[in-house]
Structure 1
Amino acid sequence: MKPTSPQYQHCLDALNASPFFAALDQQVSQELLAMFTFEKVLKRDTRITGDDDQEFYLFVTGRAKVSVFHPETGREHIMSLLGSGDCFDVVSLLDAKPRNTVLTALDDVEFLTAPLSTVRKWLLEHPDFNKAFLPYMGNQMRQLADQIEDLALYDTEARLARLILRHITSNAPVHGLRLINDLSQETLAAMIGSVRVVVGRQMKVWKQNGLLANDRGQWSVDDLQALIAKAERQFKI
C-alpha cells in the first residue's frame, strides 16, 4: 500500500491499534504497511484457506469467524473470532504449512493482505518485533487451549457461560460483550460444540432469571456473579 492511497492513514491507524503491531516504531509500521494490499468484502463472504491461499490477513474493521467443517456431516466448529487489529494465520506464519479452514465475514470487513512468505521474511529481519509477536501468539494458543479444556471438562451450560465471560468488555452496572454481542444462537453453538436449540433454550432461561439482557439484539450481562457460578460447574462424575 502506498502513502498516496486514500485508505493509507485509516489502515495505519488500525495497524497502530493492533495488539500485534502496536509497539512498533512509526517508521517500521509504515515500512510494514507498504507490503500489504487493502481489500474489502461484504458480510457472508467466504474464503477457503489451504494450499491455494498462502496469505496473511490483518483485519482493519469488521469481524470474521475461522471455522472447520466435518467432511461428511458438514457440522461446523468455530475455532476463533477475529476483529479489528487481529491477524490470520499466525500458525501458518510460524510453520509454513497451510491450514484447511474457512474464513467467513460476519460483517462488511476491511482487511490487509500480504503473502505469508513476505511477512515471514520481514519477521526474520526484524527480531525486535518478537516483543509484540510472542505475547499475541501466546494469546492465540491460550484461546485454543481454553476451547479444549471447555469441551473436555464442562457441560454445555458452563461452556456457554465461559464463552460469554471471555468476551466481557466493561464493568458494573452493565457488562457489554465484545465480538459476540449480536451473534446468532447457531453461531454461538458452533463456538462451544453444541446446537442452536440448546443454546437458545439456555439463553432464554438466563434472560428470564436476570443473568442476561437483550436490547434490540444486543446481549449484555446483568448478573456477573451468577454467570461466573455457572461457568465453574464441571461435568458430574
Structure 2
Amino acid sequence: MRLIALGATLRQCQLFSGLSEEDITRIASFVQPRALAKDEYLFRESEPAVGFYVVQRGAINVHRVNAQGKEQVIHVFRPGESMGEAAMASPTGYPAAARAVEQSNVLLVPKADILELVSERPDLALRMLGSMSQHLRVLVGLVDDLTLKDVETRLARWIIRHCDQSKGPPCKISLGRTKRVLAAEIGTTAETLSRTLARFRDASWIEVGGSVLTVHNGEALKAMVAERLGGA
C-alpha cells in the first residue's frame, strides 16, 4: 500500500509522467517521505544536496535572502511539482532556501539512488533537463517581472499564468497561501497587494473570497498587460 500511495504521487509529477509501472515502483522504493510543519525549513541555501524533492501536500516557498536581509520568493511549489534537481550536479549545494508555507509533505528522491537509475536510463536525464528548463523559465519570468513591470502588471501576469482556462469561465484560482507570501512572490508588500487586488475587484475583473480568487474578466487583465508592455 505504501508503494502504491508513493507511486500515485510520483505520477502526478511532470518529471515522472509517462514512466512505466516498473520504473515508478522502483523510484517509490527509495523515496523518503518527510513531513514539515508550517515555517519549517526543508533546506537552506548552500546546504549540500542530498537529492531533490516532490511536493506531496501543502506548499514550499523557495527563496533567497539578499545582503540587506530582504527575502525574495523565487517560486511557491505546490503538490505534483519537483524542485532542487539543478543541485544534483552542483558542488555548491542548493542555490536557494526552501521553507514550508503551511503544513506540508514532500518526497525526497535521494541523489545516489536517482543518479544510479539515470546511469541506466539516459531518458530520465533528458526528463530532468526538461524540468530544470521549466524552472529556468520561471526564473527568467521573475527577473523580467521585477525589473520591467509595475505591481499591477506583475499581479495581472501572475493571475493570467495561474488561471486554468480549461476550467473556466469564470476561472478560479486557489490561493492557498498568505497574502504576505503571494506579495513576496510578485515582489511587493502585503499592503500594496491588498490595494491592487481591491482595484481589480472594483473594476469587476476579479473577486476574492477566502482562499479562492475568481477571475471574471481575464481578457481585461490580458489587455492591460499587453498595453503596458507595448503589445508584448
TM-score range, shorter chain: 0.7 to 0.9
Structure 1 unaligned blocks of 5 or more: 1-5
Q: Distance in 1 between matches of 2:203 and 2:37?
A: 37
- Of the three residues 142, 145, 159, the one matched with 1:147 is 142
The Cα shift of 1:148 comes to: 1.5
The alpha-carbon distance between structure 1 residues 130 and 101, as it changes in their structure 2 partners (threshold 3 A), is: closer
- Evaluate the alpha carbon distance shift between residue 164 and residue 87 of structure 1 in structure 2; reply closer, same or farther with a 3 A threshold: same
1:234 aligns with 2:232: no
Contact kept in structure 2, 1:156 and 1:194, CA below 8 Å: yes
**Greater displacement, 198-207 / 45-54:** 45-54
Question: Secondary structure, in 3 states, of the residue corresponding to 1:97?
Answer: coil
Q: 185, 189, 195: which is aligned to 2:179?
A: 185
| Preserved CA contact (<8 Å) 2:36 2:105 | yes
**TM-score for both structures, normalised by structure 1:** 0.86
> Any stretches of 5+ residues in structure 2 without a counterpart?
none
CA distance in 2, matches of 1:146, 1:121: 33
- 1:159 is aligned, of 151, 154, 157, to 154
User: What is the CA distance between 1:142 and its match in structure 2?
Assistant: 1.0
Task: State the 1:96 CA deviation.
Answer: 4.2
3-state SS of paired residue (1:176): strand
Q: Is 2:67 aligned against 1:67? A: no
Q: Which residue of 1 aligns with 2:198?
A: 204
- Report the CA distance between 1:230 and its aligned residue: 2.6
**Structure 1 residue identity aligned to 2:133:** G
Please point out which of 9, 13, 19 is paired with 2:8: 13
In the alignment, the residues of structure 1 paired with residue 178 and residue 35 of structure 2 have an alpha-carbon distance, to the nearest angstrom, of 23
Q: CA deviation at 1:131?
A: 4.7
The answer for the alignment partner of 1:213 in structure 2 is 207
In structure 1, the partner of 2:129 is 134
Q: Tell me, yes or no, if structure 1 residue 121 matches structure 2 residue 143.
A: no
Identity %, equivalent residues: 20
Question: Residues 127-159 of structure 1: CA distance to partner in whole angstroms, max 9, x if unpaired?
Answer: 122453333222111111111121222122111
* 1:54 partnered with 2:85: no
- Distance in 2 (CA, whole Å) between partners of 1:110 and 1:148 is 29
- Deviation track 1:31-85 (CA, whole Å, cap 9, x = no partner) reads 112221111222222233233453321222221110111243x211110121122
TM-score (norm 2): 0.88
